A and B are shown apart, each in its own frame.
Chain A
């Protein structure tokens, strides 16, 4: 004969299994668009503190992050734990970048909501023609239950994304940028994280004494004006459309430069058209997952830059023609 205690255990186990199944079903029922919306809200409103492991080109580094939003103002401290110990302290739009080995502080203005997660896709993106988005599976990251989303491009001319979103809050616990061969070319993953807990004021103070540091800022941005484009891409990869064109006069940009922004809804590519200085060399460069390709055409140098594969910036730069 079964005891009451045993019956209770069976009942409790059944109830727990039912609740877990209900939560899993809810995670799937909500749909990928709902999760992206949830993620966008979480990134803008969540207070968190943790250690991020960032891997790029097989090189890993640990970054300590403290992020606090109060009265709509973002306060943040990001410390790269290795190398020169770059430290970023943010209060709203004002950002102090502390370079301890140079005993210098660089002051900048940033407009976005998060230092780490500013390249995440948003729910506003129109998926379908160039990308598919799907919930892949339930997973576990940094000790928390996560829902894994995959954003898969239809061709090799743009990157895919894998997102592990905290099931409770939608916060991105891990993001991978995926190349055409399926390899993760960039990974940002929380090794540990505290979400929604009290953050002490001291956690947002610089870790270095900067009393005798020199302070710098960048020169004022040059004039920028929206113009009608007199250049056109005649062979951009499918889905890339011109979203804006500006004329810019910025220091170091070599006179007046046209800046065109092309987007497929998720990936952005800038095309800069500047007066040609006589250098006919073809230039390829890469910064993290961003590629650039620069080529001389007549009196101009065309430079395409974006978070897309090298072939894509090359195809776009080569496709630019005067109207």
Chain B
């Protein structure tokens, strides 16, 4: 990704990109998978370096996307993403939908689905962009977990499967299917008296 695109994306986030350029940028992002990946990486890294978990003034950013595309479909798309999270992502058809989905993906979908103070801050990282001809269902996570666990015993496992299993727990009531236990000593606690480890 060249510096010009980086500057355009930064300007867009800051609300400083002229409307015509914003529309061109969104069109380009919605059509170029590699560019979306690079932009997503660039923005995630920037947030990580600044220690931010979310984009400041997200409402403004959303407004800028809707204004640049000038299509009510975009607002409806954001509303659907808010309601259903990643399960909702659709094939990128039509500029309004394509640009909205692309922006939601690039800027971090969770940014758009997060509801401050609510318990379901992150939708499970489940189904994305299912082919229109096929219907995906909510995964039966126990099979993914068993596969991951068994593969792990055979030398393989999957970070994402584990992570999704937490989020599924997170999505549902933790008390169902889990057993409450007494707090344990944090695994790191004993290290407070251990000398710092020097790498080999």
Asked if B140 and A283 make an inter-chain contact with CB atoms under 8 angstroms apart, the answer reads yes
Asked if A82 and B140 make an inter-chain contact with CB atoms under 8 angstroms apart, the answer reads no
Asked if A200 and B142 make an inter-chain contact with CB atoms under 8 angstroms apart, the answer reads no
Asked if A285 and B200 make an inter-chain contact with CB atoms under 8 angstroms apart, the answer reads no
Interface residues on A, range: 35 or more
Asked if A94 and B187 make an inter-chain contact with CB atoms under 8 angstroms apart, the answer reads yes
- 0/1 string, A25-46, CB within 8 A of B gives 1: 0000000000000000000010
Q: How many A-B residue pairs have CB under 8 A?
A: 277
Asked if B159 and A119 make an inter-chain contact with CB atoms under 8 angstroms apart, the answer reads yes
Determine whether A247 belongs to the interface, using a CB cutoff of 8 Å to chain B: no
B197 / chain A contacts, CB cutoff of 8 Å = 47, 68, 70, 198-199, 201
Determine whether A295 belongs to the interface, using a CB cutoff of 8 Å to chain B: no
- 0/1 string, A287-316, CB within 8 A of B gives 1: 111101010000000010111001000000
B86 / chain A contacts, CB cutoff of 8 Å = 57, 59
Known contacts A84-B122, A252-B177; decide if A58 and B54 are in contact (CB<8 Å): no
Asked if A272 and B143 make an inter-chain contact with CB atoms under 8 angstroms apart, the answer reads yes
A119 / chain B contacts, CB cutoff of 8 Å = 156-159
Asked if A59 and B109 make an inter-chain contact with CB atoms under 8 angstroms apart, the answer reads yes
Determine whether B57 belongs to the interface, using a CB cutoff of 8 Å to chain A: no
Closest chain A residue to B108 by CB distance?
A: A82
Asked if B146 and A248 make an inter-chain contact with CB atoms under 8 angstroms apart, the answer reads yes
Instruction: Tell me which of B7-15, B38-46, B65-73 binds A.
Output: B38-46
Asked if B147 and A214 make an inter-chain contact with CB atoms under 8 angstroms apart, the answer reads no
Asked if A57 and B187 make an inter-chain contact with CB atoms under 8 angstroms apart, the answer reads no
A51 to B51, CA, bound (A): 11
A210 / chain B contacts, CB cutoff of 8 Å = 183, 186
A99 to B170, CA, bound (A): 8
B188 / chain A contacts, CB cutoff of 8 Å = 75, 77, 89, 91, 201, 204-206
Asked if A214 and B125 make an inter-chain contact with CB atoms under 8 angstroms apart, the answer reads no
Asked if B114 and A83 make an inter-chain contact with CB atoms under 8 angstroms apart, the answer reads yes
- A–B complex contacts, Cβ < 8 Å, 23 sampled: A53-B41, A58-B37, A59-B109, A60-B108, A61-B44, A62-B45, A83-B53, A84-B167, A95-B187, A101-B170, A106-B169, A111-B153, A118-B156, A118-B159, A201-B195, A206-B188, A217-B179, A283-B137, A285-B138, A288-B158, A288-B161, A290-B160, A307-B158
Please list the residues of chain B having a beta carbon within 8 angstroms of any beta carbon in chain A: 33, 36-37, 40-41, 43-45, 47-49, 53-54, 86, 89, 102, 105-106, 108-111, 114, 119, 121-122, 125-130, 134-144, 146-147, 150-164, 166-167, 169-170, 174, 177-184, 186-188, 191-192, 194-200
Extra contacts, 7 of them, besides A215-B182, A306-B147 (Cβ < 8 A), are A53-B45, A77-B188, A118-B156, A119-B159, A199-B199, A253-B142, A272-B143
